[in-house]
Structure 1
Amino acid sequence: MSLSYGLCALAPAPWRAAGAGGGGGMRRNFPDSDLQRRLWRSRGFARRGRLVKSRPGDGIAKGVAFALWKQVSKTPRKLSSKSHGLETLESSERELNAPPRNVAIKSAVDERDGLDQCTPDFEPPSEQQRLGSDFNTLVKRFWRVALPYWSSEDKVEARWRLGTVLALTLATTGISVGFNFLGRDFYNALSSKDQEQFLKQLLYYLGAFVGGIPVFVIRDYSRDTLALRWRAWITQHYMARYFENRTFYNIQSQSLIDNPDQRIVDDLNSFTTTSLVFALAIFNAVIDLISFSGILYGIYPPLFGVLIVYSIGGTALSVALGKGLVGLNFMQEKREADFRYGLVRVRENAESIAFYAGESSEINLLLERFNQSFANYSQLLIASRNLDFFTSAYRYLIQLLPAAVVAPLYFAGKIEFGVINQSFSAFNHILSDFSIIVYQFQSISSFSAVVDRLGEFSEILDQQNTLSRPVTYLGSASEAIESSQTEGGSSLRPRISILDRRETIQPVLNGQNESSRKVPLLMMEHLTLNTPQYTSKLVEDLSVVVNQGEHLLIMGASGSGKTSLLRAIAGLWAAGTGTITRFLRSESEGVDRVSRPDNSEAIPGDTANHAVNGAVTSSSLDISQEIFFLPQRPYMVLGTLRQQILYPIWTERGFTSPLSPKSNGPVTSSAYTDATPVGLKPQPSDEELTDVLERVSLGHLMSSCDGLDANVEWASVLSLGEQQRLAFARLLISKPRLALMDESTSALDEENEMLLYGEIKKSGITYISVGHRTTLKQFHSNILKISKLDGGGCNWTFGPLDRKPDLEVMGSPN
């Protein structure tokens, strides 16, 4: 016996000596359940999925359903010897060192101007719906996520690689069958004390190890590289859909799903790797059953019946004992995410907490979240302990069953000693396939959560891209507007129509004489603006025109709807009635384009205008170069100083997608476009970038931050005032026709404020400002005052302002 165990230590990781009888018959096995559980927890793999409340039978339904998907061991294995002489398989260091899951940090949506977050237009799944999906739904969601890649531009390469992995899997099964017969002959020679035959079989064994190990290693490597290639494509595919038509904004502002970033980064990675492991396990199981069932049945038919009864009984008991783990694992993810999120908030708001001297309060709040995680984890340990009692007994009892069944035949002289070893090997091979739920209950439940989350994410992406897709009919503007507000009958709420026009028209504006026509940039006609859920009305029947060179100041009490009006102009909010016309630069075409929800199919990643079911889609790139938004707290991108200034019109040259042909990777998703310069305007030179920094009094950054290629945490390094000036640098370098500025100088002194407005005026940019300072009046031509609605009637007034002093002759502050 000891010799057989010693030989077993020489076996490659995918094989294991067959039970107490030892021998060369090799089989796949599963790691010790306690070790496996610890590894799962260290990676967060067993806690994938959102917070749910388990209903009776949920765990059973998911466990039984995904028993069909087979084993979930994801990485190559290595051997570990224990003191009692039985080997178990450990996860490799790659699993131990896997990075923790990302936790989505949900930034609070700006609640100014009456932002309501009650019931969104697109209803997120209810708590009852989030409790779990049935088997049919999970299967549909699995195919919804999995199929696009295998019919994508990379399908030829993907299918060729998959065929290679399947061929290698067939080879590994053949090697295992060979070891089964080698073990029989080896122990026959040992029991008959035939030293010559023993040495001969020993050499065969060693030769099989040398030839077999590379096949197993190459199979696992090929599988992992295919999973990586699949992940690269599907990540870009989901990112394109996530950013298309501002879907990311709608998901965040309406709280449609939790942690979309976690689903893209972590769940997609788990899905691609685990799906391939499942598929190969199913394929391998079929080959195993064909190969080893005949061997086992030929040795002793009752042994095959014992195996079936043992595996079915063990599966039923493991599901009954472990069903509580599903809900506890989901809950643990939520608890740990809450605790981690609290720590991240401390990092992001460190200065404010320090000013408040709020350290004690923060500690108490964080410890409260940690205690919730601790209490849930204690329950999880108890449930895991109870399951381990059964799985440990189940795992070690199989070492006795084959011997107990076939030993009478050996004692009666009907079989040789080597046949006992052969029965161990075949029995364990088949039992490992039948006992998937027993060995991998937590992993199966976790993968079902991954499929559920990604399927839900995909459905919401499709829904939001349909609802927010900007389209117009090629008829008249009035017909398109009427259609956009009434299509679908009374079941659809009215929506604001956004009309983008390229043809130059010159209407009579603001009561001017017929002869004094001006170039309009923005026209709001009978605009009534509601919160996204139509629970509050912010602006009533607003009609205003903004002409080129006539700067508009919007003032009013906090919460009156000033910022919400900018959202409507930008196309972020569409709840209400009326029309917003945005006049783009005149080009050869004169097409009216109305932004409204439509059911036509999108063309992801395309920045041109395309006909879609008789309509044309409006490019967000066109709008970003015509209308530029400056928020109160500017967005600082992760990148160099050059990227900060070029954002969002241009991206830096030199970036190559990991999926592009130039990097020898797979073909990219059709929804993905390389990050080459996407602006229609020529990209500014370094001299122009340096000059614009000087114009906004940020020239010192070139020396203090080591030039345009400096890459630091800009949101932490720069003060709010410096960030606002950097946002003005973006505006000046982009040179749009119209700028929307939401208290964009609130952190600046009056001198810098005067400097920046003067630079905008000299650049020929027309701007609309929202603010409370009376000093802003001198920089604007007209003023729009909005008050809170109290009863019926209009809540706004519009009129001219006297400008002083003349901005054209202003210089820099001393």
Structure 2
Amino acid sequence: MKVLGGAVALAAVICLAAGVGSGASQISGIAVDPGLIGVGAVGLALAYVTLRGATISTFLQIFLRLFAFEYVLLALAFASSSRGFWPAFLADATPPSTLCITIAVFGLIIYGLSYIPVIGQITRLADPYFEAADPIAAPMPWLRHRGWRERHLGTALIMLLVVINQLQVGISVRLSFFNRDWFNAIQNKDQAAFWSLLLTVFTFWAVIAIISNLIEYFFQQSLLIYWRQWLAKQYSTSWLGKGGIYRMGLIGDGADNPDQRIAEDIRSYLTDTYSYSITLIQQISTLVSFSLILWSMPAEFVLPGTNIVVPGLPFWVALAYSAFGTWITHRIGRPLVRLEFAQERYEANFRFSLARLREYAEQVALLRGERSELSILSGRFTDLVANYFRIVSRAMKLNTFTSFYGQISPILPYVIIAPYYFADKVTLGQMSQVAGAFGRVADALSYFVDRYRLIARYKANVDRLTTFSEALHKARTLGTTPPHIDVVPASGKDLAIEGLSLKLPDGREIVRAKALSLKAGSAVLVTGPSGSGKSTLFRAIAGIWPYGQGRIDIPSTAKVMLLPQRPYVPSGSLKTAATYPATAETYSDEAVREALKLAQLGPFADRIDDDENWGQRLSGGEQQRLAIARALLDKPDWLFLDEATSALDEKLEAEIYAMLRQQLPNTSIVSIGHRSTLIGMHDSRIEMQPASDGVFVPSPA
């Protein structure tokens, strides 16, 4: 940014130097060119903010860099043309001073926006993509070979889209002048000019506009899908990494419905962020360009009923009208942000209830729980409907005002300009051009009026992603601040616990283990009453329980596997379910079939390629045996069974344990169970016994 800031400063100084000693105006007896002086002065301000640009958001820096670069080119071109150095064949392409000043003002606006809190909230979500050093995932090998990263691709696409939008504004301005000349030809009954303008000027620029729209659409969609792909991967990785998927459920409302936030909220955020950044710049460009048209009308506009001349009266009317509309719209629509945020949560909760009901369809049917489920669904939908009607009520008030506002907008410019047309002070073409320019200026100034509800929904979406990001960070850092549970790779073969204290999320201590050692190669049964912290102890050993402190030494080369009471069965083929968490390609078909047979799932051995909803197709006992098959394939050094055979009958359970000891002779097995028959299947037992203060202590039995 320093080099670019220096270039901006140099271009500004050149304009100031070129503006002194030339021009029709004078300051203290010195001839000056107001255009060059204005371009130079605003350029110095742009140079200052460009030099400080490294302190603002990376996303906003992209726009600041682009506008600074454009200013350098345009300012030097304007200075050259003003001093007679501009090539004659490019005379029609000479940039006006207003364009240079407009570009510089854009840069100043971008810098100012960085200090608005809500803009900072939005850009904090956007910045990581434009700072990413990952190789590009887009199917563009020629860029990948050149060392391009995701940040390079995203930055290039943003800049390209901004330039395309600027060109589209230029096309609109050119068509505005076509409209003026065309209606003048109609008024003058000049048939030759009518057809010439239509077939040459309009046709040419209309084709360019269509082509630019198609190019913009392609690159816009490319940017959004690449950005979404990267962002979804980052959120998914953060959610699934380091036990985050489990810990998210422990930290409260900020983490509700992570599936929707990754699938839907990211998509909506990216689409709206593009719309409200690129198109807002387009609207500002439109505002400036068409304001100049309104300001430069040759007629002398006076206040109605007076002789007071007001230069650019249509512009001031558009400004006042739009400012009034924006203020009223904000007053009416402000509660929509809170209501839209709540609506997203109610919708997500209702969808989650339906998905959960489908998952537990068999259990609900067996318990005849349909009426209860209908009551639960009805309650959730009642909340959804109640909040929806609050939105409808507020939106009706907003729509009432914006409808009146929208109906008056097209008529207002004609009301202003018609008296001057009837007095022959302006032509029909000029009146048509003023009406069109007034409409474009009013639309640009009414940007927030027309989109207030959408912006409210966008703000709610940004809030949801922000709270989700904060929840992800909290989940990943939960239990990392000392004192905490330290799971340490050890050089020995045994698993040792020292000074361990496990707590519940509310801070109550549940397990205390001063010293506990589990011998490698042995089979240990952990027993105790329900709620005594047996499963919590296993979670701590697995490294996902964040509440507590102490040390757990696990052999550094050991492979650890924990089988819960209710196994997770992913969607896909039976082989995919049997090899989880490894991929299906990790093991041969024969190895998977053999593991299923050993786990007493022989009837399914020939169906490993069948793609069904195995989580519902298999019974509870079959799912537990499927998890046993995973252990046979994985061959862990330590196998923790958290009531992983509770759905089996005692005879089958004994056969499974005997098979495990035979097939995995080098595996240390640690089980949680309540059946007395399990005692004979293990070498030793640890009993969770309550101390005098109610905290459970694991003690050899």
TM-score, length basis structure 1: 0.65
CA distance in 2, matches of 1:136, 1:164: 26
Q: Which secondary structure does the structure 1 equivalent of 2:494 belong to?
A: strand
Counterpart position of 2:583: 651
Task: Note the 1:220-619 alignment, pairs <5 A.
Answer: 220-255=217-252, 256-299=254-297, 301-468=312-479, 494-501=483-490, 503-504=491-492, 520-535=493-508, 537-585=509-557
Q: Give the count of matched residue pairs.
A: 556
Q: Which deviates more, 287-296 or 789-798?
A: 789-798
Q: 1:280 to 1:350 in 2, by over 3 A?
A: same
CA distance in 2, matches of 1:733, 1:225: 42
Shift of 1:285: 2.4
The answer (yes or no) to whether the contact 2:524–2:686 under 8 Å persists in 1 is yes
The answer (yes or no) to whether the contact 1:539–1:789 under 8 Å persists in 2 is no
Counterpart position of 2:598: 695
CA distance in 2, matches of 1:569, 1:135: 46
Shift of 1:795: 4.2
Shift of 1:232: 0.9
The answer (yes or no) to whether the contact 2:129–2:150 under 8 Å persists in 1 is yes
Task: Note the 1:25-44 alignment, pairs <5 A.
Answer: none
Deviations 1:53-101 (A, max 9, x none): xxxxxxxxxxxxxxxx9xxxxxxxxxxxxxxxxxxxxxxxxxxxxxxxx
Q: Which deviates more, 351-360 or 315-324?
A: 351-360
AA paired with 2:527?
A: M
The answer (yes or no) to whether the contact 1:724–1:744 under 8 Å persists in 2 is yes
Q: Quick one: which of 160, 169, 176 aligns to 2:172? A: 176
AA paired with 2:187?
A: S
CA distance in 1, matches of 2:235, 2:531: 36
Q: Quick one: which of 604, 626, 635 aligns to 2:568? A: 635
Shift of 1:230: 0.9
Q: Quick one: which of 606, 612, 615 aligns to 1:715? A: 615
Q: 1:231 to 1:730 in 2, by over 3 A?
A: same
Q: Gaps spanning 5+ residues in structure 2: where?
A: 1-62, 64-113, 133-148, 300-311
The answer (yes or no) to whether the contact 2:242–2:544 under 8 Å persists in 1 is no
AA paired with 1:651?
A: T
The answer (yes or no) to whether the contact 1:557–1:788 under 8 Å persists in 2 is no
Residue 685, structure 1, aligned to residue 665, structure 2: no
Q: Which secondary structure does the structure 2 equivalent of 1:558 belong to?
A: coil
Counterpart position of 1:147: 127
Deviations 1:139-171 (A, max 9, x none): 332222111211223122222222221222122
CA distance in 1, matches of 2:685, 2:457: 57
Counterpart position of 1:161: 157
The answer (yes or no) to whether the contact 2:180–2:430 under 8 Å persists in 1 is yes
CA distance in 2, matches of 1:172, 1:652: 51
The answer (yes or no) to whether the contact 1:521–1:584 under 8 Å persists in 2 is no
The answer (yes or no) to whether the contact 2:395–2:453 under 8 Å persists in 1 is no
Q: Quick one: which of 188, 191, 200 aligns to 1:192? A: 188
Shift of 1:718: 0.9
Aligned alpha-carbon RMSD (Å): 2.4
Q: 1:289 to 1:526 in 2, by over 3 A?
A: closer
AA paired with 2:396?
A: R
Counterpart position of 2:146: none
Deviations 1:269-290 (A, max 9, x none): 1222221222212321232233
CA distance in 2, matches of 1:375, 1:163: 44
Q: 1:711 to 1:326 in 2, by over 3 A?
A: same
Task: Note the 1:76-155 alignment, pairs <5 A.
Answer: 136-152=116-132, 153-155=149-151
Deviations 1:756-789 (A, max 9, x none): 2122212121110000111111210001111344
AA paired with 2:243?
A: R
The answer (yes or no) to whether the contact 1:251–1:257 under 8 Å persists in 2 is yes
AA paired with 1:223?
A: Q
Q: Which secondary structure does the structure 1 equivalent of 2:255 belong to?
A: coil
The answer (yes or no) to whether the contact 2:260–2:348 under 8 Å persists in 1 is no
CA distance in 1, matches of 2:189, 2:592: 87
Counterpart position of 1:479: none
Counterpart position of 1:778: 680
Q: Which deviates more, 712-721 or 306-315?
A: 712-721
The answer (yes or no) to whether the contact 1:741–1:767 under 8 Å persists in 2 is yes
CA distance in 1, matches of 2:288, 2:116: 28
Q: Which deviates more, 730-739 or 423-432?
A: 423-432
Shift of 1:246: 1.5
CA distance in 2, matches of 1:215, 1:563: 62
Counterpart position of 1:811: none
CA distance in 1, matches of 2:174, 2:694: 87
Deviations 1:295-342 (A, max 9, x none): 111125111110110010011111122223233323333333343333
Q: Which secondary structure does the structure 2 equivalent of 1:414 belong to?
A: coil
Q: Which deviates more, 253-262 or 273-282?
A: 253-262
Q: 1:794 to 1:292 in 2, by over 3 A?
A: closer
CA distance in 2, matches of 1:793, 1:149: 47
AA paired with 2:535?
A: T
Counterpart position of 2:90: none
TM-score, length basis structure 2: 0.75
Q: 1:158 to 1:324 in 2, by over 3 A?
A: closer
Q: Which secondary structure does the structure 2 equivalent of 1:544 belong to?
A: strand
Shift of 1:207: 4.2
Counterpart position of 1:668: none
Shift of 1:577: 4.2
CA distance in 2, matches of 1:352, 1:685: 34
Q: 1:244 to 1:794 in 2, by over 3 A?
A: closer
AA paired with 2:168?
A: T
Q: Which secondary structure does the structure 2 equivalent of 1:787 belong to?
A: strand
Residue 727, structure 1, aligned to residue 699, structure 2: no
Q: Gaps spanning 5+ residues in structure 1: where?
A: 1-68, 70-133, 470-483, 486-493, 505-519, 586-624, 654-682, 800-814
AA paired with 1:150?
A: F
CA distance in 1, matches of 2:621, 2:695: 39
CA distance in 1, matches of 2:278, 2:241: 34
Counterpart position of 1:103: none
Structure with the higher fraction of residues in helix conformation: 2
The answer (yes or no) to whether the contact 2:257–2:349 under 8 Å persists in 1 is no
Q: 1:378 to 1:796 in 2, by over 3 A?
A: closer
Shift of 1:437: 1.8
Shift of 1:136: 4.4
Shift of 1:353: 2.4
Shift of 1:630: 0.5
Greater length-normalized contact order (CA 8 Å, ≥ 6 residues apart): 1
Q: 1:723 to 1:151 in 2, by over 3 A?
A: same
The answer (yes or no) to whether the contact 1:245–1:468 under 8 Å persists in 2 is no
Counterpart position of 2:302: none
CA distance in 2, matches of 1:379, 1:135: 33
Shift of 1:794: 7.0
Q: Which secondary structure does the structure 2 equivalent of 1:533 belong to?
A: coil
AA paired with 1:147?
A: D
CA distance in 2, matches of 1:793, 1:642: 43
